[in-house]
Amino acid sequence: MQDNSTNVNGERPISWTGTEIFLSVFLAWLFCPAAAFAILKGLGVENWYYGDDTPETARRLGLWVGTLAAPFQVLTYPLVLSAFRRTTWDQLGLTTRRFGRNVLAGIAVLPLLAPVVFGLWQLIRWLYGVPGEKIIEQHDLEKIAPYLYPFEWVMLFFTAIIGAPVHEELTFRGVLQPWFASRRWGGHAAMLGALLLALSFRSERLRDAWPEGMASLTEAAAPALFVLALVPLYIVVWLASRTPIAPAIFGTSLLFACIHSSVWPTPIPLFVLALGLGALAHSTRSLVGPIVMHGLFNGFSCVLLLWETKH
């Protein structure tokens, strides 16, 4: 009898369909934040807490949206998928099986991978510092960090260490990666999705850059060009793989990186981080290790941001 904790490819068994994935992702990534934003605007938070409604206030309001939406985003997947397919929490990777060992795995892998990710990021920053090169794009949090109130820092750390890791690991390593790994063409679909995401997140910049010439257009299309540059490597991985697992991890990792395409060139080091998260999720058959590792990585990044802001 086949072990019901894995399927024939060594991944966790799945029962959800592409339609159910689309519905879950739509609710978690679009509906929940939009509903949270509507509630906050209805309560007038930007007026009674900040006293104004400026572009900076809108960015700071994003912290409130992330904090309020996070629990509902996390619950979306088990609720929706269990309603259609009676999906269990174990199938999504949220299992207590070998819990302590998986926590230690997430802690142990981070010191091995983090220096590579941060080292790559520093290399990119150095390359972008060459005279004549463009300035690295800043995340909204970097722009508003000097003005954050203590309570906003609490929301930032909560979202970065708990909310985002649980939600993103559920999305990418819990739902998408096993689904892609269950199909021979799954990695191809993930690669195509990454390209479409990269173009979507930069659509406004691409429109603005179109009349400005090739240099501006290339800069705006950088995330999409990054995806295309990785296609030959992906083909090598696909041809060398006997199962769809490695292509699925590769494609899902690039998909994860491309949700950060609005802030270039962060997708490059985040792709490397995602490869480690994907491999850890597959090897442990659990999301516990990746969530711990993801949360610690984000926490360290927040500490660095706080340090740079206060010094």
CA separation for the pair 263, 202 (Å, rounded):
9
Q: Do residues 24 and 17 touch, judged by C-beta distance below 8 A?
A: no
- For residue 4, name the pLDDT band (cuts at 50, 70, 90): very low
Fill in the DSSP letter of residue 13: P
Stated pTM of the model: 0.92
pLDDT tens digit sequence for 142-196: 888 888 999 999 999 999 999 999 999 999 999 999 999 999 999 999 999 999 9
- For residue 11, name the pLDDT band (cuts at 50, 70, 90): low
Looking at residue 62, its amino acid is G
- For residue 77, name the pLDDT band (cuts at 50, 70, 90): very high
User: What are the φ/ψ torsions at residue 90 (nearest 5 degrees)?
Assistant: -60, -40
pLDDT value at residue 2: 33
Specify the higher pLDDT residue, 250 or 51.
250
- Find all residues with CB under 8 Å of 242, minimum gap 6, and list them: none
pLDDT value at residue 8: 45
- For residue 5, name the pLDDT band (cuts at 50, 70, 90): very low
- Looking at the chain, the whole-number percentage of residues with pLDDT higher than 90 is 72
Report CA torsion sign: 185, 186, 190, 196: positive
pLDDT value at residue 59: 86
Q: Do residues 48 and 219 touch, judged by C-beta distance below 8 A?
A: no
Specify the higher pLDDT residue, 9 or 238.
238
pLDDT value at residue 175: 96
pLDDT value at residue 135: 66
CA separation for the pair 114, 105 (Å, rounded):
14
pLDDT value at residue 137: 81
pLDDT beyond 80 at 302: yes
- For residue 310, name the pLDDT band (cuts at 50, 70, 90): confident
pLDDT tens digit sequence for 89-141: 999 999 999 999 999 999 999 999 999 999 999 999 888 776 445 567 888 88
pLDDT value at residue 87: 87
The answer to which of 2-11, 38-47, 226-235, 261-270 has the lowest mean pLDDT is 2-11
pLDDT value at residue 3: 36
How many other β-carbons are positioned within 10 Å of the β-carbon of residue 266?
A: 18
pLDDT value at residue 55: 73
Average pLDDT score, the chain: 90
CA separation for the pair 190, 182 (Å, rounded):
13
- For residue 27, name the pLDDT band (cuts at 50, 70, 90): very high
CA separation for the pair 297, 302 (Å, rounded):
9
